[in-house]
Chain A
């Protein structure tokens, strides 16, 4: 039995390392490629250089799209917070039965892929009184629907953990009105959970391509669309772009994980 357990231990370590290697391989390859002077038909590149990163980070078009991506994502998250926080508060405090309906509604962004929504969005808002196609505004609105299911679930878990009703009752007993109780007592208690939800939402909104490409394209280029449009430029340059993007997302998810751990 003992010997069996030990050989089992080796097996599990090997599987975990293998899993890690599989997930690492494309990233490591891209990283190496982005640092290579040239690399063809040999196990390792012929020399290492930072010139691709320098070229990338001094490219005005790249810096512009990076800023535009940030702007769209931050805008979408602001909109989400402004819309979802009151919604959650009202649902959980006043109309708990609506939660069941909301749980069905937030399945919609899963069941309807962006490519399907785009068909309707292009026709509805391509022209006429609500023409938004080609502007960042339509992206902000669409990204709100992408972030919704995730933010709703994450903040709901948080609200349940802090015991919303007791907290509100206690605040009101001490003389606060509903607004004061919600803004000054409940909100600060949600701060950490909200930060984690926002950081993680940001990391996947930053990688969104379908809406950005179909609805807006080059008229307000985001990072993913730019990357796709650069397909014919140097592979090394593109690798530097991919690695820079991934490093940025990595830092965000890392911070979110740290915050999440502190919470418990």
Chain B
């Protein structure tokens, strides 16, 4: 690497100086809050220690929040990725006009999340929603509630689909069309092709997308808050309740819960980075 001519020591100091405003803002709004949470999760009335964490893991209430968070994230990611995989694969096989239109539409609906999405589902599938009443009239719907766990999984799945399609679409590049022809020539059935070639080649991308969806659902707060006015017990709701609720404020306990969530997210991010390195379309 040759140093540019003008890059004297003074130039380099000036360049470093240009980084300063960024560094200051990043520390104020990203590093410092995280550090505060990390430090205070280890503090309670008793002083330093893991008292907050043992409180979290001894409480049925918080364990339920954790379990529900994981359940909703897992199922919505699974449904989301199955639909997105089928969709993304078929998108590549149709003519370009239809493909461009539907992928542009998926791109736009990826912004349709959070509060507006919750409202759309309340209007259609809430207690007095147009679809609910209609489906009840024809007897197709017995006791489904959008405010229940299965309701939340449905809404979460909806916002996972566009994200999944966007992330998976390029991954199918790894699957070359002539491989399928070769496999067919050698006598492999449709099923055998997918079992022995298609899925193994796509596996890192599929898993990578799955963990992104998982992270997306684990951290989601707006949708579940708007849908249930904060009455459904999941981790993000509990954390926010402990710092901004009206009843019991306990920032230290909130920090411990937040660290549990960050731990889960970090695990997911590390797994994703590792899978990214293994995937076929990384050089």
Whether B98 contacts A207 by the Cβ 8 Å rule is no
Whether B258 contacts A27 by the Cβ 8 Å rule is no
Whether B93 contacts A207 by the Cβ 8 Å rule is no
Whether A178 contacts B11 by the Cβ 8 Å rule is yes
B91 within 8 A of A: yes
Interface size class of B (residues with CB under 8 A): 35 or more
Contacts of B134 in A (CB 8 A): 41-43
**Segment of B60-68, B110-118, B191-199 engaged in the interface with chain A:** B110-118
Contacts of B273 in A (CB 8 A): 107
Contacts of B106 in A (CB 8 A): 19, 23
Nearest residue (CB) in A for B112 is: A246
Whether B116 contacts A82 by the Cβ 8 Å rule is no
A124-B33, A145-B29, A209-B222 known; A172-B243 Cβ under 8 A: no
Report whether over half of chain A's contact residues are helix, strand or loop; otherwise say mixed.
Answer: helix
**What is the 8 Å Cβ interface bit string for chain A, positions 149-162, against chain B (1 contact, 0 not)?**
00000000000000
B141 within 8 A of A: no
CB proximity to B under 8 Å, residues A110-134: 110-124, 130
B147 within 8 A of A: no
Contacts of A30 in B (CB 8 A): 119-120, 123-124
* Nearest CB of chain A from residue B185's CB, rounded to whole Å: 10
Contacts of A120 in B (CB 8 A): 32-37, 255
A20-B102, A26-B121, A228-B115 known; A87-B18 Cβ under 8 A: yes
Contacts of B162 in A (CB 8 A): 23
A231 within 8 A of B: yes
Which of B107, B161, B254 makes the CB contact (< 8 A) with A253?
B107
B174 within 8 A of A: no
A188 within 8 A of B: no
* Nearest CB of chain B from residue A223's CB, rounded to whole Å: 9
A235 within 8 A of B: yes
B236 within 8 A of A: yes
* Nearest CB of chain A from residue B214's CB, rounded to whole Å: 12
Contacts of A23 in B (CB 8 A): 105-106, 109, 158, 161-162
Contacts of A178 in B (CB 8 A): 6, 11
CB proximity to B under 8 Å, residues A197-242: 203-204, 207-210, 213-214, 224, 227-228, 231, 235, 238-239, 242
* Nearest CB of chain A from residue B54's CB, rounded to whole Å: 19
A174 within 8 A of B: no
Question: B130, B243, B258, B266 — which one has the most chain A CB atoms within 10 A of its CB?
Answer: B130
Contacts of B99 in A (CB 8 A): 16
Whether B111 contacts A204 by the Cβ 8 Å rule is yes
Complex formed: what's the CA distance from A122 to B251 in Å?
9
* Nearest CB of chain A from residue B94's CB, rounded to whole Å: 5
**What is the 8 Å Cβ interface bit string for chain B, positions 63-87, against chain A (1 contact, 0 not)?**
0000000000000000000010011
Whether A203 contacts B111 by the Cβ 8 Å rule is yes
**What is the 8 Å Cβ interface bit string for chain B, positions 209-239, against chain A (1 contact, 0 not)?**
0000001001101100110010000001001
Contacts of B225 in A (CB 8 A): 209, 213, 228
A75 within 8 A of B: no
Complex formed: what's the CA distance from A184 to B34 in Å?
39
Whether B111 contacts A249 by the Cβ 8 Å rule is yes
CB proximity to B under 8 Å, residues A140-188: 141-142, 144-145, 148, 168-169, 172, 177-178
Complex formed: what's the CA distance from A26 to B109 in Å?
10
Whether A238 contacts B119 by the Cβ 8 Å rule is yes
Complex formed: what's the CA distance from A210 to B262 in Å?
16
B59 within 8 A of A: no
A15 within 8 A of B: yes
Nearest residue (CB) in B for A142 is: B29
Complex formed: what's the CA distance from A39 to B254 in Å?
43
B15 within 8 A of A: yes
Nearest residue (CB) in B for A179 is: B14
* Nearest CB of chain A from residue B245's CB, rounded to whole Å: 11
Contacts of A242 in B (CB 8 A): 116, 119-120
Complex formed: what's the CA distance from A142 to B34 in Å?
13
Complex formed: what's the CA distance from A79 to B24 in Å?
12
Whether B221 contacts A114 by the Cβ 8 Å rule is yes
Whether B120 contacts A245 by the Cβ 8 Å rule is no
Contacts of A177 in B (CB 8 A): 6
Complex formed: what's the CA distance from A83 to B131 in Å?
48
B187 within 8 A of A: no
B182 within 8 A of A: no
B148 within 8 A of A: no
| Cross-chain pairs A/B with CB under 8 angstroms, 20 sampled | A9-B94, A13-B98, A19-B90, A19-B91, A26-B121, A30-B124, A96-B1, A109-B30, A113-B236, A113-B262, A118-B243, A123-B243, A145-B30, A208-B114, A214-B240, A227-B116, A231-B226, A231-B229, A239-B120, A246-B116
Task: Give the top 6 A-B pairs by smallest Cβ distance, nearest first.
Answer: A120-B33, A113-B219, A120-B36, A15-B90, A209-B222, A12-B93
